[in-house]
Structure 1
Amino acid sequence: MFDGIDIVVLPVADTEPLLELYVDAMGFEVVEAGPVREPEVAARLWSLPSPPAKTILLGKPGSKGGWIRLVEVPGLPRPDPAGRPDRPGPYALDFYLRDPDATEKEIGGRGWGFVSDPVDYLLPGTEYPVRERMLDQTVSGLLHAFVQYREGRTRCVLGERPEEDVSEVNAVVFATGDLPGARAFVENVLGGHVYFADRFGGPAVEELLGLEPGEGFEAVIARGPASRNARLEFLRHLPPASPRPPHAYPRVVAGCAMDDLDALAARLATGEHGASTGVVDTVAGPHLGLRSRYGACFYFWQR
C-alpha cells in the first residue's frame, strides 16, 4: 500500500546549484553521498537515458518521507522551463515554510527567481487560508510551491523541530492528460487514499502560475493511512498554446516503499498503466521501476 513518497529523485547534469538551494538555503542535510552503485541498473529503474555517476541523499532528520536524492547524470540536457502546466510530466514540489518572507528573501538573494509575488486564497471547498509563492527551479525545470506553515494544520517536520524553517518535500505534483485514469491508478494499483479532488482557479491561482483569466485545473491529491509526507498529486494539464515536445527524460522519479512488491508487480504486469521493469534484484534489495502513462515515473521497493 502507498503511504507517501519516501525519496524524490532529481536527475541533473550538475548537482552543485541544487546543493546550494536545498542545503545552504533550505536547510536540508547531506545524509549520504558517493558513486551510484550498479549505475546501469539505476538507469533502468529511473528511466534515465544514460547511467548516473554519483548520488547525494538530502534529508530532514525526524521527517517521515519527502527526502531528496540528487542524481548526477553526465551530459544530461538542460530541461525546458516549467512554464504553464500544459504537458504531461513532473511539474512542482511543495514545501512548507515557517517564515516565508525571510526564506524567500534568502533564496532570492542567491539568484533564484519567482513566478509572482505571494498570493492568498482559500483551499477549494474549505475555509482554510493558503499563502503560497512559486519558485522557478530551473535546474530541474520544476516549480517549487512555498506554502505558509500553520501550526497544527498539517503534518511535517516543522511540528517536530522548531529550529527548522523549511519542511521536507510535502507533495510531488505531476501533470496528466488522463486525470480519471491517474486517480484509478493511485487508488486501485497503489492503494493510496485520495482525500482531495477539486478545481483550483481564480485570480490568485492565475497569478501564482501565470495563467490566463478564467483558466484553472482539476487536481487529485493522495496520501496513505499514516497521512505522512510526501503526498502524491496529479493535475489535469491545460491545452498548450502551441505544441511542446515531451520531456526527454524524467525530471522527477518518485520513490516509494510498498508493503508487497510482488503483488504490485503483478498488478503492473499487463502494461495497462505504463512500462514496468518488473522486480529487479539489486545490491540494495528488490526494486521495481515504472514509467507510467500518467506523466509520472516511480521506483518502488519492499517496505
Structure 2
Amino acid sequence: MFDGIDIAVLPVADTGPPRELYVDAMGFEVVEAGPVRDPGLWARLWDLPLPPAESLLLGKPGSKGGWIRLVGVPGLPSPDAAGVPDRPGPYALDFYLRDPAATEDAVEKRGWTFVAGPVDYLLPGTEHPVRERMLDQTRSGLRHAFVQYREGRTRCVLGERPGLGVSEVNAVVFATGDLAGARTFVTDVLGGRVYFSGRFEGPAVERLLGLAPGEGFDAVIARGPASRNARLEFIEHLPPAVPRPPHAYPRVVAGCAMGDLDALAARLATGEHGASTGIIETAEGRQLGLRSHYGARFHFWQR
C-alpha cells in the first residue's frame, strides 16, 4: 500500500548546481554519495535515455519520506522550462519554509530566480491562509513551491526539528490529461487516500503560475494511511493553443516503498495504467518501474 513518496529521483546532467541549491541554501544533508552500480538496470527502472553515473541521496533526518536523490546522467540534454502546467508530466516539488524571506534570499544569492513575488490565498474549500512563491529550478525543468510553514497546521519535519528552516519534499506534483484516471490509479492500484480534491483558481493562483486571467485547474492530492509526507499530487494540465513536445526524459521519478510488491505488480500487469518493468531482482532488493499513463514515472520497491 502507498504511504507517501520516500524519494524523489531527479536526473540531471550535472549534480553540482542542484546540490548547492538543496544542501547549501535549503539545508538538506548528504546521506550517501557514490557511483551507480549496474547503470543499465537503473536506467531501465528510472526510464532514462542514458545510463546514470553517480547518485547523491539528500535527506532531512527525522523526516518520514520526502528525500531527494540527485542522479548524474552524463550527456543528458537540458530540460525544457516548466512554464505553466500545459502538458502532462512532472511539474513541481513543494516545500514548507519556516522563514520564507530568509530562505528565498539565500536561494537568490546563489543565482536561482523566482517566477514572481509571493502570493497569499485561501486553500480551496477552507479558511486556511497560504503564502506561496514559485522557484524556477532550471536544472531539472521544474517549479518548486515554497509554502509558509504554519505551526501545528502543517505536517512535516519542521514540527519535530525546530532548528530547521526548510522541510523535506512535502509533495511531488504531476500534470495529467486524465485526472479521473489518475485518481482511480491512486486509490485502486496504489491504495492511497485522497484527502483533497478541488480547484485552484483566482488572481493569486494566476500570478503564482503565470496563468491567463480566468485560468485554473483541478487537483487531487493523496497520502497513505499514516498520513505522512511526501504527498502525491496530480493536477489537470492546461492544453496550450500550440501543443508542446513531450518531455524527452522523466524529470522526476517518484520512489515509493510498498508493503506488497507482488500484489502491485499483478495490478499493473495488464498495462491498463502504463508500462511496467515487472519485478526486477537487484543487489538492493526487489524493484519495479512504471511509466504511467498519467504523466508520472514511478520506482517501487518492497518495504
| TMscore range, shorter length | over 0.9
Percentage of pairs with the same residue: 81
Tell me what 1:247 maps to: 247
Tell me what 1:301 maps to: 301
Letter matched to residue 295 of structure 2: G
- Count residues in correspondence: 303
Taking the aligned partners of 1:269 and 1:38, their CA distance within structure 2 comes to: 25
Taking the aligned partners of 1:101 and 1:56, their CA distance within structure 2 comes to: 27
Taking the aligned partners of 1:148 and 1:241, their CA distance within structure 2 comes to: 34
Q: 1:241 Cα shift?
A: 2.8
Letter matched to residue 217 of structure 1: F
Taking the aligned partners of 1:120 and 1:154, their CA distance within structure 2 comes to: 16
Q: 1:239 Cα shift?
A: 1.3
Q: 1:132 Cα shift?
A: 0.2
Q: 1:28 Cα shift?
A: 0.2
Taking the aligned partners of 1:246 and 1:109, their CA distance within structure 2 comes to: 32
Tell me what 2:108 maps to: 108
Q: 1:212 Cα shift?
A: 0.4
Tell me what 1:182 maps to: 182
The answer for unaligned runs of 5 or more in structure 2 is none
Tell me what 1:8 maps to: 8
The alignment yields a C-alpha RMSD, in angstroms, of: 0.5
TM alignment of 1:44-193, pairs within 5 A: 44-193=44-193
Taking the aligned partners of 1:105 and 1:241, their CA distance within structure 2 comes to: 36
Q: TM-score, normalised by structure 1?
A: 0.99
Q: 1:35 Cα shift?
A: 0.5
Q: Any idea what the Cα deviations from partners look like across 1:102-131, whole Å, max 9, x if unmatched?
A: 110111111111011000000000000000
Q: Any idea what the Cα deviations from partners look like across 1:230-282, whole Å, max 9, x if unmatched?
A: 00000010011312100000000000000100000000000010000000000
Q: 1:62 Cα shift?
A: 0.3
Taking the aligned partners of 2:50 and 2:111, their CA distance within structure 1 comes to: 30
Q: TM-score, normalised by structure 2?
A: 0.99
The answer for unaligned runs of 5 or more in structure 1 is none
Letter matched to residue 212 of structure 1: A
Taking the aligned partners of 2:221 and 2:213, their CA distance within structure 1 comes to: 24
Q: 1:32 Cα shift?
A: 0.2
Q: Any idea what the Cα deviations from partners look like across 1:129-163, whole Å, max 9, x if unmatched?
A: 00000000000000000000000002111001111
Letter matched to residue 164 of structure 1: L
Tell me what 1:35 maps to: 35
Instruction: For residue 278 of structure 1, give the secondary structure of its aligned residue in structure 2.
Output: coil
Instruction: For residue 68 of structure 1, give the secondary structure of its aligned residue in structure 2.
Output: strand
Does residue 208 of structure 1 match 2:208?
yes
Instruction: For residue 277 of structure 2, give the secondary structure of its aligned residue in structure 1.
Output: strand
